[in-house]
Chain A
Amino acid sequence: MLTLLEQLDKGSLWQSPGGIHPPELKQLSNQQAISRLPLAKQFVVPIPQVGEQARLLVDVGQTVLKGQVLTEGNGFIYLPVHAPTSGTVTAIKPVASNHASGLPVLSCIIDADGNDTWCDLIVSEPSALTNDEIISKIKLAGIAGMGGAAFPTHIKLNTASEIDLVIINGVECEPYITSDDRLMREHSDEILKGVEIIHRLLNPQRIIIAIEDNKPEAAEAMQQAINHSKLPANSARVTVIPTKYPSGGEKQLIQIITGKEVPSGCLPSQLGIVVQNVGTAFAIQDAIYYGKPLVERVVTLTGKNIHRPGNYWLPIGTPVSTALKLVDFSPSSDQKLIIGGPMMGYAINNAYVPILKGTNCILAPSNDEISPDSDEKACIRCGECAIACPALLLPQQLFWHAKAEEYDKAASFNLQDCIECGCCSYVCPSDIPLVEYYRIAKSALRVEAEEKVLAEQAKQRFEARLQRLEDEKLAREAKAKEAAEKRQANMKSSDKDAVAAAMARIAAKKAAQSNDVNQQTDIQNNQAVSDSVNKKSAVSAAIARAKAKKAAQATPPPSSAENNTLQQDNSIGNVAEVSMSQQDRIAAAVARAKAKKAAQHNQVITSDVVVNDSASVSTLEIDSTVNDKKAKVAAAIAKAKAKKLQQVGIANDTDGNELADVSSITKTAVASSIGSEKLVTESKTDIGSLDKKARVALAIAKAKAKKSPQGHDRTAADESSSSLPINLNTQISNGTSTSSDNEIIADAEPENVEQDKKARIAAAVAKAKAKKLQQTESSNVKSALSDISTRASQTENVDTAALDKKAKVAAAVAKAKAKKLAQQAEKKD
Chain B
Amino acid sequence: MMTSIFIAVAVLTIAAIVFGIILGFAADKFKVEGNPIIDQVEALLPQTQCGQCGYPGCRPYAEAIANGDKVNKCPPGGTATMEKLAELMGVEPEPLNQEAQEAVKKVAYIREDECIGCTKCIQACPVDAILGAGKLMHTVIAKDCTGCDLCVEPCPVDCIDMLPVETTLKNWDWKLNAIPVTLVSESLEDR
Report which A residues bind B (CB closer than 8 A): 22-23, 25, 97, 99-103, 105, 175-176, 336, 338, 342-343, 345-347, 365, 368-373, 422, 425-426, 433, 435-436, 439-440, 442-444, 447, 450-451, 454-459, 461-462, 464-466, 468
Q: Determine the chain A residues whose CB is within 8 A of the CB of B175 once the complex forms.
A: 440, 443-444
A99 to B185, CA, bound (A): 24
Asked whether, in the complex, the Cβ of A368 is within 8 Å of the Cβ of B188, the reply is yes
A595 to B29, CA, bound (A): 96
Answer yes or no: B169 CB below 8 A from chain A CBs: yes
Q: Determine the chain A residues whose CB is within 8 A of the CB of B42 once the complex forms.
A: 459
Q: Determine the chain B residues whose CB is within 8 A of the CB of A426 once the complex forms.
A: 183
Asked whether, in the complex, the Cβ of B188 is within 8 Å of the Cβ of A369, the reply is yes
Which one of B2-10, B45-53, B91-99 contacts A?
A: B45-53
For the A-B complex with A101-B167, A342-B182 known, give 8 more contacts whose Cβ atoms are closer than 8 Å: A22-B183, A22-B186, A25-B184, A372-B185, A373-B182, A440-B178, A461-B127, A462-B58
Q: Determine the chain A residues whose CB is within 8 A of the CB of B174 once the complex forms.
A: 100, 436, 439-440, 442-443
Top-9 shortest CB links A-B: A23-B189, A455-B47, A461-B127, A101-B172, A370-B182, A371-B185, A458-B47, A439-B174, A459-B47
Q: Determine the chain A residues whose CB is within 8 A of the CB of B127 once the complex forms.
A: 458, 461-462, 465
Q: Determine the chain B residues whose CB is within 8 A of the CB of A371 once the complex forms.
A: 182-185
Asked whether, in the complex, the Cβ of B182 is within 8 Å of the Cβ of A99, the reply is no
Asked whether, in the complex, the Cβ of A368 is within 8 Å of the Cβ of B179, the reply is no
A456 to B49, CA, bound (A): 11
Asked whether, in the complex, the Cβ of A346 is within 8 Å of the Cβ of B179, the reply is yes
State how many angstroms separate the Cβ of B121 from the closest Cβ of chain A.
14
Answer yes or no: B129 CB below 8 A from chain A CBs: yes
A662 to B136, CA, bound (A): 72
Answer yes or no: B173 CB below 8 A from chain A CBs: yes
Contacts A/B (CB < 8 Å), 8 sampled: A175-B184, A346-B179, A365-B182, A433-B180, A440-B174, A455-B48, A459-B47, A459-B59
Asked whether, in the complex, the Cβ of B177 is within 8 Å of the Cβ of A450, the reply is no
Contact among A347, A368, A457 with B187 in the assembled complex (CB-CB below 8 Å): A368
Answer yes or no: B112 CB below 8 A from chain A CBs: no
Asked whether, in the complex, the Cβ of A425 is within 8 Å of the Cβ of B184, the reply is no
Answer yes or no: B67 CB below 8 A from chain A CBs: no
Q: Determine the chain B residues whose CB is within 8 A of the CB of A345 once the complex forms.
A: 181
Chain B residue at minimal CB-CB distance from A461: B127
Answer yes or no: B144 CB below 8 A from chain A CBs: yes
Chain A residue at minimal CB-CB distance from B56: A466
Give the most central of B46, B172, B177, B182: most A CB within 10 Å. B182
Contact among A422, A433, A451, A462 with B126 in the assembled complex (CB-CB below 8 Å): A462
Q: Determine the chain B residues whose CB is within 8 A of the CB of A346 once the complex forms.
A: 179, 181
Q: Determine the chain B residues whose CB is within 8 A of the CB of A425 once the complex forms.
A: 181, 183
Q: Determine the chain A residues whose CB is within 8 A of the CB of B186 once the complex forms.
A: 22-23
Chain A residue at minimal CB-CB distance from B125: A465
Q: Determine the chain B residues whose CB is within 8 A of the CB of A176 once the complex forms.
A: 184
Asked whether, in the complex, the Cβ of A101 is within 8 Å of the Cβ of B169, the reply is yes
Answer yes or no: B117 CB below 8 A from chain A CBs: no
Q: Determine the chain B residues whose CB is within 8 A of the CB of A365 once the complex forms.
A: 182, 184
Chain B residue at minimal CB-CB distance from A304: B188
Answer yes or no: B26 CB below 8 A from chain A CBs: no
State how many residues of chain B have any CB contact under 8 Å with chain A.
Answer: 37
Asked whether, in the complex, the Cβ of B185 is within 8 Å of the Cβ of A100, the reply is no
A370 to B187, CA, bound (A): 9
Answer yes or no: B57 CB below 8 A from chain A CBs: yes
Asked whether, in the complex, the Cβ of B46 is within 8 Å of the Cβ of A462, the reply is no
Q: Determine the chain A residues whose CB is within 8 A of the CB of B128 once the complex forms.
A: 461, 464-465, 468
A338 to B184, CA, bound (A): 11
State how many angstroms separate the Cβ of B176 from the closest Cβ of chain A.
7
Asked whether, in the complex, the Cβ of A373 is within 8 Å of the Cβ of B180, the reply is yes
Chain B residue at minimal CB-CB distance from A426: B183
Q: Determine the chain A residues whose CB is within 8 A of the CB of B35 once the complex forms.
A: none
Chain B residue at minimal CB-CB distance from A448: B80
A447 to B182, CA, bound (A): 26
Q: Determine the chain B residues whose CB is within 8 A of the CB of A461 once the complex forms.
A: 127-129, 144
Asked whether, in the complex, the Cβ of A101 is within 8 Å of the Cβ of B189, the reply is no
Asked whether, in the complex, the Cβ of A347 is within 8 Å of the Cβ of B179, the reply is yes
State how many angstroms separate the Cβ of B152 from the closest Cβ of chain A.
17
Asked whether, in the complex, the Cβ of A342 is within 8 Å of the Cβ of B184, the reply is yes
Asked whether, in the complex, the Cβ of A100 is within 8 Å of the Cβ of B188, the reply is no
Q: Determine the chain B residues whose CB is within 8 A of the CB of A103 once the complex forms.
A: 167-169, 172
Q: Determine the chain B residues whose CB is within 8 A of the CB of A23 once the complex forms.
A: 184, 186, 188-189
State how many angstroms separate the Cβ of A490 from the closest Cβ of chain B.
31
State how many angstroms separate the Cβ of B67 from the closest Cβ of chain A.
20
State how many angstroms separate the Cβ of B23 from the closest Cβ of chain A.
34
State how many angstroms separate the Cβ of A376 from the closest Cβ of chain B.
11
Answer yes or no: B146 CB below 8 A from chain A CBs: yes
A371 to B175, CA, bound (A): 22
Q: Determine the chain B residues whose CB is within 8 A of the CB of A464 once the complex forms.
A: 128
State how many angstroms separate the Cβ of B64 from the closest Cβ of chain A.
16
Asked whether, in the complex, the Cβ of B173 is within 8 Å of the Cβ of A370, the reply is no
A459 to B46, CA, bound (A): 9
State how many angstroms separate the Cβ of B90 from the closest Cβ of chain A.
18
Q: Per-position contact with A for B142-180: 1 when CB-CB < 8 Å, else 0?
A: 001010000000000000000000011101111111111
A447 to B174, CA, bound (A): 11
State how many angstroms separate the Cβ of B41 from the closest Cβ of chain A.
13
Chain B residue at minimal CB-CB distance from A346: B179
Chain B residue at minimal CB-CB distance from A365: B184
State how many angstroms separate the Cβ of A404 from the closest Cβ of chain B.
13
Q: Determine the chain A residues whose CB is within 8 A of the CB of B180 once the complex forms.
A: 336, 347, 373, 433
Asked whether, in the complex, the Cβ of B172 is within 8 Å of the Cβ of A25, the reply is no
Q: Determine the chain A residues whose CB is within 8 A of the CB of B176 once the complex forms.
A: 101
State how many angstroms separate the Cβ of A799 from the closest Cβ of chain B.
75
Asked whether, in the complex, the Cβ of B46 is within 8 Å of the Cβ of A455, the reply is yes
State how many angstroms separate the Cβ of B150 from the closest Cβ of chain A.
12
A730 to B154, CA, bound (A): 69
Contact among B57, B181, B182, B189 with A462 in the assembled complex (CB-CB below 8 Å): B57
Chain A residue at minimal CB-CB distance from B45: A455
Q: Determine the chain A residues whose CB is within 8 A of the CB of B46 once the complex forms.
A: 451, 455
A371 to B185, CA, bound (A): 5
A100 to B188, CA, bound (A): 26
Contact among A97, A370, A440 with B169 in the assembled complex (CB-CB below 8 Å): A97
State how many angstroms separate the Cβ of A22 from the closest Cβ of chain B.
6
Contact among A372, A433, A466 with B181 in the assembled complex (CB-CB below 8 Å): A433
Chain A residue at minimal CB-CB distance from B166: A103
Chain A residue at minimal CB-CB distance from B126: A462
* B94-134 CB contacts (< 8 Å) to partner A: 126-129
Instruction: Take A455-B46, A462-B127 as given contacts and tell me if A336 and B182 are in contact as well, using a CB distance cutoff of 8 Å.
Output: yes
